[in-house]
Amino acid sequence: MPIASSPLAIDRAANLRALNSFGLPAVAHTLVHIRSDADVRRVLDHPELGRAPKLVLGGGSNLVLTRDPSEVVLRVEVMGKRLVAEREDAWIVEIGAGEAWHDAVAWTLDQGWPGLENLALIPGTVGAAPVQNIGAYGVELADRFESLDAVSLVTGRVVTLDARACAFGYRDSVFKQAAQPGNFGGLAGKSLITRVRLRLSRPWQPVRSYLDIERRMAETGNAAPDARTIFDWVCAIRRAKLPDPAEIGNAGSFFKNPVVSAEQCRDIIGRDPHIVHYPLPDGRFKLAAGWLIDACGWKGKRVGNAGVYERQALVLVNCGGATGAEVVTLARAIQESVYGRFGIRLEPEPVLM
């Protein structure tokens, strides 16, 4: 229930089941709705909440809740979409961190500003997109990123970070890295992203080199699809192989695609000639984790109420009533069997807590 006397919207004993895309049960003792930078400062100045540990929650699409959080949960609900600059070389759009990512993609296309079409239908919020540098069909957020605003959860100061400061990597950024001695950049748990600015380059440069897109081009005979067509194709491809979190709880790919040395890749190909692998510019190889899990026979298998999606082995799903512990037990069993057969340790993509 919101507390009327507080300028902050605070819920007590808030059920988080509908606020995480896996649909896992957990209760936040305190959940604060963050609608502006000022709300963050109000939290920091609050006699009870100011010094309490905090957990930032966006769309909850990259999180496996295994317990009731002991932290105060800050739910990011900063809204708004606007064009901030129309340059000769790009449109720069600014989007509130609380907006749904897919709606932002659709909005830019409706305005006639292409560039995000390959990233259609990714669940989660705009504020969560830089945290794990979302990517799909040959494009990563980092490729379209201009800058973001974040509020420090320690000082309440607003900072603007460019791509370098965000230290984007494969499903990684400074926001996922913990601060350690000698690593002052790690911002995990230390800041709350409020707005993200994206750069949509002009003229539009389509990215059509991903196998699934090339297949559609061949099937339709359309060798030069426009942005709207790529958007429609990506939506159709995703709907065909990925579960909709509104229907089946999930967090997208559960593991990152592992990177191995050329020697290790050759060794695995020697034993499993069909393994799906992609060369990287540095001479190493990225392996398809979905293929590895599939090869170990996990597709469609369950442990309790957690399961492996029958159309994409990289996606773990809530078969109905799963707990976070069941998801983690299933994930560990998959890691062990992939390690046993291929000698590769799969690393989870979502944050387990």
Binding residues vs ligand EPU (CB under 6 A): 136-137, 252-253, 256-257, 276, 288, 290-291, 294, 299, 312-314, 349
Angle formed at CA 81 by CA 76 and CA 85, multiple of 5 degrees: 130
Give the CA distances from residue 42 to residues 76, 111, 138, in Å, rounded to whole numbers and listed in that order: 14, 35, 41
Beta carbon of residue 188, minimum distance to ligand EPU (angstroms, whole number): 18
**What is each CA distance from 224 to 194, 214, 243, in whole angstroms?**
37, 10, 29
Taking the complex as a whole, the smallest distance from the CB of residue 77 to ligand EPU amounts, in Å, to 23
CB atoms under 10 Å from CB of 149, counted, come to 19
Q: Is 17 a catalytic residue?
A: no
Q: Please identify, using beta-carbon distances, which residue of 84 and 240 lies nearer to ligand EPU.
A: 240
The residue among 89 and 219 lying less far from ligand EPU, judged by its C-beta, is 219
Alpha-carbon span 288 to 124, nearest angstrom: 23
Catalytic residue, chosen from 35, 99, 253, 326, is 253
In the complex, minimum distance from the CB of residue 286 to ligand EPU, in angstroms, rounded to a whole number? 8
Q: Is 349 a catalytic residue?
A: yes
Using the minimum distance from each CB to ligand EPU, give the nearer residue, 72 or 346.
Answer: 346
Among 42, 75, 144, 171, which one carries the catalytic annotation?
A: 171
Which residue, 147 or 257, is less far from ligand EPU as judged by CB? Answer: 257
Q: Within 13 Å, how many C-alpha atoms sit on residue 324's CB side? A: 20
Annotated active-site residue 253? The verdict is yes
Sort 82 into a burial class: Cβ within 10 Å, 0-12 / 13-18 / 19+: exposed
CB of 73 to ligand EPU, least distance (A): 22
Residues marked active site are found at 171, 253, 349
